[in-house]
Amino acid sequence: MTPSEHVGRSAEAHADILQRLHALDRAIAQHAQWLARLNRQLICGGKANPDDLAEDAHRRCPLSHSLKALEPARGEQDPSHAALEVAHQSMHEIASHLLQAQAANQPIAGADYDALVAVAARVRQLLRRKEQELTECLGAVDKLTGLWNRQAVHLRLAEEIERVQRTRQPCAVCFVDLDDFANVNEAHGQLIGDAVLKASASFFASHLRGYDTIFRLGGEEFLLCLPNIDLDQAGALINRLRDDFAAHAFEVDGKQIRISASFGIINLEPVFFIDEILERVERAQLIAKSEGGNRVCIWHDGFDVEAR
């Protein structure tokens, strides 16, 4: 195979993975919409969707069409996909049973509803696992910290921009750079430095909301995607994170290491290209750094630096 043929095949594989990831995004959204509609039906009553009562309800579900785009190629084995199809069918069978009981004015057993919740959670878990597998195929996971890396940023922010446009809900983006991190490597060595990076990633994850996304851009730089939050709320959240991070002592190899970080925050504005968004949020962080570090700089129409 010539180099150009190899590149061509790699590009095709990359495009296929991206297409499958988009199908997964649709599947996850469709699953959430279906589950919300079903819960409303079970709580509020009314006439059930005939498709949900059909024997082949799982095949009529919009999620089923998205799953077809994720089917492994002929001859390939994919146990996770098979498990997903089984869980999806089981979810619809339980839902049909509950809806039939409701239509007959019979009480819904708590155990039956718990079974629905459990299998619906299983479907979502399998969808997310499949998403992680595909994203790892793109090389989008940072091996040191386990966070999404720079390759995943454009895909994730593009999805979030679409959500902002669709729902009109705000989203903030935060650029994080650890202050004077080179001194950690110089004083303690790279192994200790790597341990501090891993511990920092875990610290951010434990102090943010479960649906926030954290990326490692490289070195000691991180990016935070904070959905459903405006600039004022993001500023308060990140200032608390900054305080807690600076006050925390990381215990690594018998040593206690303290480190601070500088933060830049902007709104995720659909009118800007993603590269422009990243440039602006990094510039905000650099202003925080130029003010001495351990600062939060928020981009409004101009710059507004918050510091303690």
Query: How much is the pLDDT for 27?
Result: 80
238-259: pLDDT as tens digits: 999 999 999 999 998 888 999 9
Q: What average pLDDT score do residues 30-49 get?
A: 88
Cα–Cα distance measured from residue 207 to residue 240, given in angstroms and rounded to the nearest whole number: 9
Count of CB atoms situated within 10 Å of the CB of 23: 18
The CATH number covering residue 284 comes to: 3.30.70.270
The answer on 19 and 49 residing in a single domain is: yes
The answer on 200 and 169 residing in a single domain is: yes
The answer on 295 and 192 residing in a single domain is: yes
The answer on 153 and 125 residing in a single domain is: no
Count of CB atoms situated within 10 Å of the CB of 271: 7
Q: What average pLDDT score do residues 137-162 get?
A: 84
Report yes or no on 142 lying in a domain: no
Evaluate if pTM is beyond 0.75. Answer: no
The answer on 152 and 132 residing in a single domain is: no
Query: How much is the pLDDT for 2?
Result: 37
Of the candidate ranges 137-141, 157-161, 167-171, the one whose mean pLDDT is the lowest: 137-141
Last residue in a domain, options 137, 156, 190: 137
Of the candidate ranges 10-24, 142-156, 278-292, the one whose mean pLDDT is the lowest: 10-24
Query: How much is the pLDDT for 278?
Result: 94
What band does 222 get if pLDDT is binned at 50, 70 and 90? very high
What band does 5 get if pLDDT is binned at 50, 70 and 90? very low
Last residue in a domain, options 106, 137, 168: 137
Report yes or no on 127 lying in a domain: yes
Last residue in a domain, options 137, 166, 200: 137
Give the range of the structural domain holding residue 176, as residue numbers without chain letter.
Answer: 148-306
Handedness of CA 82, 86, 89, 92 (dihedral sign): negative
The answer on 292 and 227 residing in a single domain is: yes
Give every CB contact of residue 14 below 8 A, 6+ residues apart in sequence: 138
The answer on 215 and 129 residing in a single domain is: no
Report yes or no on 83 lying in a domain: yes
Give every CB contact of residue 259 below 8 A, 6+ residues apart in sequence: 178, 179, 180, 181, 184, 196, 200, 245, 246, 250
Beta-bridge partners for 255: 252
The answer on 83 and 19 residing in a single domain is: yes
Report yes or no on 9 lying in a domain: yes
Query: How much is the pLDDT for 301?
Result: 65
pLDDT surpasses 80 at 221: yes
Report yes or no on 48 lying in a domain: yes
Q: Which of 55, 160, 220, 306 is catalytic?
A: 220
Which of the two residues, 138 and 126, has the higher pLDDT score? Answer: 126
What values do phi and psi take at 304, rounded to 5? -135, 110
The answer on 160 and 105 residing in a single domain is: no
Report yes or no on 154 lying in a domain: yes
Look over the chain and give the mean of its residue pLDDT values, rounded to a whole number.
86
Which of the two residues, 303 and 189, has the higher pLDDT score? Answer: 189
Q: What average pLDDT score do residues 93-97 get?
A: 94
Query: How much is the pLDDT for 3?
Result: 33
Which of the two residues, 300 and 111, has the higher pLDDT score? Answer: 111
Query: How much is the pLDDT for 74?
Result: 64
pLDDT surpasses 70 at 18: yes
Report yes or no on 102 lying in a domain: yes
Number of domains in the chain: 2
The answer on 110 and 41 residing in a single domain is: yes
Angle at 98 between CA 95 and CA 103, to 5 degrees: 125
The answer on 152 and 128 residing in a single domain is: no
Please confirm, yes or no, whether 221 is among the known catalytic residues: no
The answer on 125 and 57 residing in a single domain is: yes
Report yes or no on 143 lying in a domain: no
